[in-house]
Structure 1
Amino acid sequence: MNLPSKLTLGALGAGALLTVAVLPAEYGIDPTGLGQKLGLTALAQEAGTPAAFEGEMSFNIGAYDPTAERINQSVQGLIHLEDAPFHNEVIDIEIEDYGEVEYKFIMPADTTFVYSWEVLDAVGEGVYYDFHGHPSSDDAVNYPEGFEMAYAKGEGLTQSGSFTTPFAGYHGFYFMNIEEGPITLRLNIAGYWEDSKEMYRAIKGEVVHSEEF
């Protein structure tokens, strides 16, 4: 027998072994029926080969209606519908030498904004910043005394990001000027909020403006 014939027979033998033994024993696939007779398919069942999925998958989405004006259900987390257009503002915040400012956005729970802030014409370290949130005075009784949630803090000249409120209340930024001399910090922000305002201002530790939350 020449070499090609030996290779052909070898390939045929390997194929037969795969069909008769390996597929029934490993995967429970038995095209010839010999695997069941030889008890090989039982090995696949004992090994815990997953059975074919026969259930019905469901998602939290409603039936698609192309004529609907509003779809009230969607995959959780992909879209959150709002009743009004988003805000888009550029806010310049002047901070005196040794000054501190807290600027907050009043927002419902599960609403979002994207933002970038930067110190204009910086010559030093920029600002110390503390991005945090806390409930309004009316909601404070539902939280531990003095509750607030920190999101980010540090020192720098700029920061960009996106944010989704974990609870309703006041969310925003505290900035402390660590430059030499007065600065302008520009906040570019777009998203959903009910109101925004400066909540606190101090110069050299002396409070010059403060509002209740």
Structure 2
Amino acid sequence: MYNQTKASQDAMPSSAQLLRSTVAAIVVALAILVTMVLPAEYAIDPTGIGRALGLQNMGEVKAQLAAEAVDEPIESVSGGSGNQEILERLERIEAALAGLSAAQVVPAAAAPAEPAVKTETMSLTLAPNQGAEIKVEMAEGAIIEYEWLTDGGKINFDTHGDPYNAPRDFYHGYSKGLFVPGDQGQLEAAFDGYHGWFWRNRTPADIEVTLIVKGEFASIKRML
């Protein structure tokens, strides 16, 4: 009636066989623990096999990260107030971002700096037959007061201006002079650009020129 064959007593493993299998399994598990698990997880490598297999480095990295986490708690990041303050800051940032419109997110273009009223002094020395030029950058309608003088010699000068990207033959003069020891006055910019003075020494001796400028201008520099 039943087709199932009952296992014979000889086919069943004996107690000694079961014990040997259990001991073998324990030995294999201990070997895996010592050669693989301990080096990879805890940087413990008593046999040296873990380092040879590259598992020791994994354990050392994990141990280092764990030590850093203990040495530098999260309170140091938030100034000592802990996780709660970080969460509160995140909530405030999220709320602020949610209230911004697309137009508010785009930064506005910076307005050009307004020229300040200031005073500058520059000096230069002209050798015989040498020319030099100093100009100030001004907006149209801006006004400066100026004075320049030599250390005693007399030179030629030409006060003029050039707009930005001026054509090659462009010329706009304010005043000129021949063999004078100095000049002073007021200059109002006729256009946006550079306005200033060109001097040439036609004497046989060096001449020092000192320029003082006061008013509304963006910059001053020697051009030549």
What's the TM-score once normalised by structure 1's chain length?
0.49
Q: Which structure features the higher share of helix residues? A: 2
In terms of fraction of residues, the more strand-rich structure is 1
The higher-RCO structure (CA 8 Å, 6+ apart) is 1
Query: Which one has a bigger Cα radius of gyration?
Result: 2
